[in-house]
């Protein structure tokens, strides 16, 4: 009888703890959702691939309408090399290839250029980023899309270029030295 009572008490305690943990997680999610003011929430880096997949799909649909022929698409290096921007470029290259778009390894005169511009916007509720992807031929845009995303505050350093460490200083120039041989005795 005592063992059953002890087991029941333990079971109720564990159930209560699990319930409280779930309620805490829901409250955090609700708070994050209210802070994003309608913007999608990026959870680094799990959602980055989804973002790139969506862009690659829309771009491949547009490319099929334009009949690009054999034109290659070069995904440009990011202007601000944040961890997010660098990973987004890799995701875009992979996802465009998966969608059947011919992706160039290097930029050429004839390749179309896909740029992914990431801007961070500091708000009272936290950081949001604006991601603009644009495919152009040098004269005009063939595809362009802009989306806003909220960012988990713990992940801000992955998105905001102002939080990146400064680049290392250039190496010091080699010092000029001259060797002389001294002979004789004192």
pLDDT of 10 over the 60 cut: no
Tens digits of residue pLDDT in 85-134 = 999 999 999 999 999 999 999 999 999 999 999 999 999 888 999 999 99
Query: Among 44-48, 65-69, 124-128, 148-152, whose mean pLDDT is lowest?
Result: 65-69
Give the separation between CA 103 and CA 14, rounded to whole angstroms: 53
pLDDT of 186 over the 70 cut: no
Q: Looking at the chain, which runs of residues are DSSP E strands? A: 40-42, 73-75, 103-104, 112-123, 126-136, 141-151
CATH of domain 41-163: 3.40.120
Tens digits of residue pLDDT in 73-89 = 999 999 999 999 999 99
pTM over 0.75: no
Give the separation between CA 41 and CA 151, rounded to whole angstroms: 6
Phi-psi region of 67 (alpha: psi -120 to 50; beta: other; left: phi over 0): left
Closest by alpha carbon to 88, among 76, 103, 106?
76
């Amino acid at each position: 009888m005592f063992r059953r009572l002890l087991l029941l008490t333990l079971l109720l305690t564990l159930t209560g703890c699990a319930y409280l943990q779930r309620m805490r997680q829901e409250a955090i999610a609700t708070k994050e959702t209210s802070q994003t003011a309608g913007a999608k929430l990026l959870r680094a880096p799990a959602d980055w691939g989804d973002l790139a997949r969506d862009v690659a799909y829309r771009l491949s649909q547009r490319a099929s309408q334009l009949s690009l022929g054999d034109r290659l698409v070069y995904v440009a290096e990011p202007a601000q090399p944040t961890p997010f921007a660098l990973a987004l470029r890799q995701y875009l290259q992979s996802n465009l290839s998966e969608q059947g778009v011919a992706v160039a390894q290097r930029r050429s005169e004839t390749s179309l250029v896909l740029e992914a511009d990431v801007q961070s916007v500091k708000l009272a509720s936290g950081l949001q980023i604006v991601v603009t992807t644009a495919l152009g031929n040098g004269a005009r845009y063939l595809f362009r899309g802009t989306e806003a995303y909220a960012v988990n505050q713990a992940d801000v350093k992955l998105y905001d270029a102002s939080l990146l460490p400064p680049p290392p200083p250039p190496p010091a120039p080699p010092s000029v030295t001259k060797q002389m041989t001294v002979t004789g005795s004192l």
